[in-house]
A and B are shown apart, each in its own frame.
Chain A
């Protein structure tokens, strides 16, 4: 398969028609596409797969919005809007044009999911175009959907390659991949032959009627009957399988819901406990507040006494310092003497004399006996005031910090509770019982289906044994007529062919597995520095071994493993094709049947620079056509150099944005600035070829 051209029309981020020429040359197998984050690299990657299979990968958001927003918005109600992706490719000398498109009559403002339509056209070597009716079948014959993730992949999701959806419960491991590989490597034809040969036997056997040989006819009828029964049982097994997986899915989804609800139970408890604690902290806050009030109310005024106490003490001391007069002498008595300037003893007490001064001094204290006690009492009380004020300060400070602590606790607990509330959102506790009931129901249905499946399986086994025994009897039966003998011989021959083919298939499968295994080992060791060895086991599962057993793979290791596997599958397919050509098995000389392209987004994912370099070197050798989508951060230095050497052509996904505040950007390719992000009228992406 060789990709030729991808044409996008109003497909998601891409407005109007955008064409990507994918043809490559010998030695230059790469097409590089540079794109900014959000420019549409993933869309472009998905465009390939969408054209071929009609679905997006899971990481595509808003899957229903297939038509470009502006194209959709410009469409009037009642009118048609359309989007399409066309992929032209060549396979086994035949050109194919695959067009997947959606056409919608706009009835609502929003786009709704639509089933895209497929047209596959085959252009033969003679140039005649012919449309293929069962196009999807044809596509999957060429590139099985089971291998989709190996040929169109996102480097950042590489680890998913070997896990998840490729494995299906009840079908063994990696069935899909195994089947896909067989298709790719042409082993499928043998398998089909194996299935068809018994039919041939029976068809031959049916030519005998009971007149010719009643015994043989009887055996043949019995074999027919057994084949029908086997078919029925196999169909029943299939039905049961799908039932089992449906029940399983139900149980799983209930489990998820239950898990959420179970998570809710402790959350609910936690919430209650938090609420209690918040209430307690609130109570404490209130208690501290009322304590504060009490303090302020009862003792607050004492805080304002500073200065008063010292003043009172000072006054009292001052009073004591002045000399005391005998009790009973009135102040007015001394005042009279000083007024008259004459003592009661007749002596003159002239103003300015020593006597006058002394008397005047004593006047202050005179007659204070009645207040003296009060002064002593008041000043005595004042002595402890400073201490009391300190106490109040301490208590208020302590109280303030208590309040603060309580407040902090409240806000912390409330934040925690609102967090729990968020987690609790959308959980209905009452659903739990119902869910558990439903789960029980489905689980028991699943068990029943499993039992039935097992029974059917046993039946098939015994039918097969009986059929084989009948077959032996048939072949060994003594026959009467010549015709019967001839038929018997032919059936015998068919049986021998079947046995041989079975052996061939086993050998071939093992051969392919072995080739793939060798190739993966070789490619892997080219890139990877650790002494790990990859191995493709009998189930076509890829394992990574260390000296001590199966290695635990990191994301980066998975990526390298994935790349190695892709390279290996592609290369083995190429070799098989080449060998067929040599043996003249391939019908067309220019056939490219065994060559497969690889389209990858962010091929380096999150790899270290060393690996990026190694991979950029190894990539061109992996397969004959590589479409690589790169972001600017992935396209630097040595890596870019290596890739450019292998590149036949380069494109830039130039994104236009009406957001004037977004800076215009350029990307440097071959020392040239290429526009990368530009201002435009609306959001869209344009594919621009970079000439160099």
Chain B
């Protein structure tokens, strides 16, 4: 049974992750939290980004000990493969981890873009803006759902 107890963090975003978790200026207390946020950000934008080069992986247990951290992988997996309920089975955990990693990678890239674009803003502001936007407006996927509805009405299962 394939099983992993760690997730990878993309080497390409090593600097960014360092910045995000800087004791003085970073918004996130831990690398795990930064990755969790990045993953949800990537997911919200519907972007997954594979990567090969990784830095030292992080223990999954760290994520699981957090509020909603224990369902985060499942949650992402479930919405990522809606027609494949087995995605939540124990032996597909590596796949769920990969989904998480790739979303996180995409999320980090997006964050980097935002930081570059709004160099005058501090991290807290950029991130709280993202959070507030997430809380106040429906996700990008709505559009996709519209398409889904059309597809559904056309009796095309997917």
A residues with a Cβ closer than 8 A to B are: 289, 292-294, 296-309, 311-312, 315, 319, 364, 368, 370-371, 374-375, 377-378, 381-382, 385, 388-389, 392-393, 396, 400
The complex places the Cα of A371 from the Cα of B75 at a distance, in Å, of: 13
Contact of B139 with A by CB under 8 A: yes
Are A371's CB and B132's CB within 8 A? Answer: no
Are B134's CB and A306's CB within 8 A? Answer: yes
Closest 5 CB pairs between A and B?
A: A304-B40, A374-B88, A303-B134, A307-B139, A303-B131
Contact of B28 with A by CB under 8 A: yes
Report the nearest B residue to A312, measured CB to CB: B78
Are B78's CB and A375's CB within 8 A? Answer: yes
Give the residues in chain A near B8, CB-CB below 8 Å. none
Q: Mark B135-158, 1 if CB is under 8 A from A, else 0.
A: 110110110000000000000000
Contact of B61 with A by CB under 8 A: no
Give the residues in chain B near A312, CB-CB below 8 Å. 75, 78-79
Give the residues in chain B near A378, CB-CB below 8 Å. 71, 74-75, 78, 88
Q: Mark B62-96, 1 if CB is under 8 A from A, else 0.
A: 00001110011011101100100111111000000
Are A374's CB and B79's CB within 8 A? Answer: no
Contact of B39 with A by CB under 8 A: yes
Are A296's CB and B134's CB within 8 A? Answer: no
Contact of B41 with A by CB under 8 A: yes
Interface-located stretch among B10-18, B48-56, B122-130:
B122-130
Contact of B9 with A by CB under 8 A: no
Closest CB-CB distance, B141 to chain A, in whole Å?
Answer: 5
Are B85's CB and A307's CB within 8 A? Answer: no
Contact of B19 with A by CB under 8 A: no
Are B128's CB and A396's CB within 8 A? Answer: yes
User: Would you call the interface of chain B mostly helix, strand, loop, or mixed?
Assistant: helix
Give the residues in chain B near A377, CB-CB below 8 Å. 71, 74
Known: A301-B39, A308-B75, A311-B78. A371 touches B89 (CB 8 A): yes
Known: A300-B127, A300-B131, A368-B85. A293 touches B139 (CB 8 A): no
Point out which of B39, B78, B90, B127 has the most chain A C-beta atoms below 10 A from its C-beta: B78
Contact of B106 with A by CB under 8 A: no
Contact of B105 with A by CB under 8 A: no
Q: Which of A296, A304, A368 contacts B86 (CB 8 A)?
A: A368
Size bin of chain B's contact surface: 35 or more
The complex places the Cα of A311 from the Cα of B138 at a distance, in Å, of: 13
The complex places the Cα of A385 from the Cα of B27 at a distance, in Å, of: 22
Are B131's CB and A371's CB within 8 A? Answer: no
Closest CB-CB distance, B104 to chain A, in whole Å?
Answer: 10
Are B67's CB and A299's CB within 8 A? Answer: yes
Q: Which of B66, B135, B142 contacts A303 (CB 8 A)?
A: B135
The complex places the Cα of A306 from the Cα of B130 at a distance, in Å, of: 13
Kindly identify, within residues 1 to 47 of chain B, every residue whose CB is under 8 Å from any CB belonging to chain A.
27-30, 33-34, 36-37, 39-41, 43-44
Point out which of A289, A312, A382, A385 has the most chain B C-beta atoms below 10 A from its C-beta: A312
Give the residues in chain B near A319, CB-CB below 8 Å. 85
The complex places the Cα of A45 from the Cα of B110 at a distance, in Å, of: 78
Closest CB-CB distance, A292 to chain B, in whole Å?
Answer: 6
The complex places the Cα of A319 from the Cα of B79 at a distance, in Å, of: 14
Give the residues in chain B near A388, CB-CB below 8 Å. 68
Known interface pairs A297-B27, A300-B131, A308-B139; 19 further A-B residue pairs with C-beta atoms within 8 A, sorted by A's residue number: A296-B37, A297-B29, A300-B128, A303-B135, A304-B40, A304-B41, A304-B43, A304-B44, A304-B131, A307-B139, A308-B76, A368-B85, A371-B87, A374-B88, A377-B71, A378-B74, A382-B75, A389-B135, A400-B128
The complex places the Cα of A385 from the Cα of B142 at a distance, in Å, of: 18
Are B29's CB and A315's CB within 8 A? Answer: no
Report the nearest A residue to B92, measured CB to CB: A371
The complex places the Cα of A307 from the Cα of B140 at a distance, in Å, of: 9
Q: Which of A292, A298, A304, A370 contacts B134 (CB 8 A)?
A: A304
The complex places the Cα of A297 from the Cα of B29 at a distance, in Å, of: 6
Closest CB-CB distance, B151 to chain A, in whole Å?
Answer: 15
Are B75's CB and A296's CB within 8 A? Answer: no
Can you give 27 contacting A-B residue pairs, CB < 8 Å?
Answer: A296-B37, A296-B124, A296-B127, A297-B28, A297-B37, A298-B29, A301-B33, A301-B68, A303-B135, A304-B44, A304-B131, A305-B75, A308-B40, A308-B43, A311-B82, A312-B75, A315-B85, A319-B85, A371-B89, A374-B88, A378-B88, A381-B68, A381-B71, A382-B71, A382-B75, A396-B132, A400-B128
The complex places the Cα of A389 from the Cα of B68 at a distance, in Å, of: 12
Known: A293-B29, A298-B66, A312-B79. A306 touches B85 (CB 8 A): no
Are B131's CB and A296's CB within 8 A? Answer: yes
Give the residues in chain B near A393, CB-CB below 8 Å. 132, 135-136
Point out which of B37, B41, B43, B130 has the most chain A C-beta atoms below 10 A from its C-beta: B37
